[in-house]
Structure 1
Amino acid sequence: MLITKTFHDVPTKLDANGRPIRIFVIAPSVPSYPNAKFPGVVVFSEIYQVTGPVERFAGQIASQGFVVACPSSYHEFQGPEAIPYDTEGTDRGNRFKIEKEVAAFDEDATLAIDLLSSLKNCNGRIAATGMCLGGHLAFRALFDPRVLASFCFFATDIHSATLGKGKSDNSLARVRNGELTNNGELVMVFGKQDTHVPREGRDLIRKTLEDANVPVSFLEVQAQHAFIRDEESKGRWDAALTRTMFTFMMEVFERTVGRDLGERVAGNDKIEHVC
């Protein structure tokens, strides 16, 4: 399926300087069906904003029949341009990650979901995904009941609760409070050789989710951090494993937002495969 690319500059409330967030939108293009509607997916980027690899990843999702929104996470500090995959860029991205308020990250997610829901070509059924920082943001996006599924790749800072200003987020605390228990389906993917999230951290995340009866699939694969990034991955890109994980993600999205199954029955944790 062919795709189109555009962007929207959306006003924010939490940026004291009033700067908008740029949300890139990649959508299916079916000229013969001008009124076609598709489910939506928010793609949250790594600390480098919407880079080439993130855009290509989002484009692959869009070409499967989804309207994709990619928010620029660091609009408080710079423009929407991608941050380079180099030492200075890495330092800058990591600095912004702990200078931005957690509430501002959440506002970005809300604005991206709002935007998708308002688009003529989106049917309002929303999923989320992301990698690294974006994996954590996709995890938090699932607190919004409009998000029916989140597929999180090597999400950082969840186990250590160190996202945002003050390095003190409440992601796992909210899980313990039951805020994900009756929400959408969650998939967590980690590489066993990922030094950003050690075994103890993965165990903590898994136990917290399972203790809270969150409908989660938890995958630990033989890979390092950033294994899905097809550029500047420092030799960590695994194309074959990426293809497998992408196929799994599409199964989850097609099942949860690609079909309208009616109202979800709260408390039913069994994952049904509807063919």
Structure 2
Amino acid sequence: MIIQKHIVDLPTPTGIMRTYVHRPEGDKAYPTILLYSEIFQQTGPIERSARLMAGHGYAVVVPEIFHELNPAGTVLAYDQAGSDKGNSDKANKPAEGYDSDNEAVIAWLANQPWCNGQIGAMGFCIGGHLAFRAALQPQVKATACFYATDLHTSVIPNQPGQHSMDRLADISGELMMFWGKQDPHIPAAGRALVYQKMSGAGLNFSWHEVNGQHAFMRDEGLRYDAQLAMRGYQLALDLFGRCL
């Protein structure tokens, strides 16, 4: 499929959110995937991930996750300064802001002729957590989370009862969780805690742990593992193919 790209600036309760849309050419309606980036926003690797998924017959929407804290179009570098800024943004945006972002995107999708109403979510690193957060929305039927950070911590600011692990009863769709066992950001104890809570809540999910470091699906840098990335994308495509 030939993929087109366009940019939309969506109003949200916390300001305008730049959003990138990657979808097959033409006027046909497709299932839509909300794709959440790492702390660096829509970098080259994230855009390539979006286009890869779009090339399998999906409209893929990539919102700027820290739109309140940066000028529209901001992309942080994969260096220490970029990491420091992204982690600062993560620590300063309340979890409820992601909920209102998701609600704004889903409401907008309802009026797009290229969206057939079937919605899924996926993401990497903090984006894996934000995809998990998107699964709280009843319209999201399937979610693929890749090495989702901070599900086991309180780094993202929350009001009482608003931590993602406190709201598992709001998830109705199927989830796929994909982890690297050598990831220092989500140690074995943290993964075990997430698994225990998801199982205790009776969620419909699959669980995959592989020998990979953090960000092993990012196709830049020394940690990239093409074989594991291919496996992750195939699992996501299987999930969305069944559920959407």
Using the size of structure 2 for normalisation, the TM-score is 0.96
- What secondary structure, in the 3-state scheme, does the structure 1 residue paired with 2:110 have? helix
- What secondary structure, in the 3-state scheme, does the structure 2 residue paired with 1:129 have? strand
Counterpart residue number, 1:237: 224
Q: Does 1:6 align with 2:6?
A: yes
Q: Does 1:72 align with 2:64?
A: yes
Say which structure, 1 or 2, has more relative contact order (CA 8 Å, 6+ apart): 2
Identical pairs, percent: 39
Q: 1:96 to 1:158 in 2, by over 3 A?
A: same
Distance (Å, rounded) in 2 between the aligned partners of 1:215 and 1:59: 27
Number of aligned residues:
243
Look up the equivalent residue of 2:6 and give its one-letter code.
T
Distance (Å, rounded) in 2 between the aligned partners of 1:89 and 1:166: 27
Post-superposition Cα deviations, 1:1-45, rounded to whole Å, max 9, x if no partner, equal: 0110001101121x2xxx300111001114xxx3x1100000000
Q: 1:95 to 1:82 in 2, by over 3 A?
A: same
Q: How far off is 1:120 after superposition?
A: 0.8
- Given that 2:98 and 2:133 are in contact with CA atoms closer than 8 Å, whether structure 1 keeps it comes out as no
Counterpart residue number, 1:42: 34
Distance (Å, rounded) in 1 between the aligned partners of 2:37 and 2:111: 22
Counterpart residue number, 1:199: 188
- Given that 1:147 and 1:184 are in contact with CA atoms closer than 8 Å, whether structure 2 keeps it comes out as yes
- What secondary structure, in the 3-state scheme, does the structure 2 residue paired with 1:157 have? coil
- Given that 2:92 and 2:156 are in contact with CA atoms closer than 8 Å, whether structure 1 keeps it comes out as no
Distance (Å, rounded) in 2 between the aligned partners of 1:225 and 1:167: 29
Post-superposition Cα deviations, 1:134-192, rounded to whole Å, max 9, x if no partner, equal: 000000111111000000000000011321368995111112xx222xx0000111100
Look up the equivalent residue of 1:156 and give its one-letter code.
T
Structure with larger Rg: 1
Distance (Å, rounded) in 1 between the aligned partners of 2:159 and 2:137: 23
Q: How far off is 1:204 after superposition?
A: 0.5
- Given that 1:163 and 1:169 are in contact with CA atoms closer than 8 Å, whether structure 2 keeps it comes out as no
Equivalences for 1:193-272 in 2 at 5 Å?
A: 193-231=182-220, 233=221, 235-257=222-244
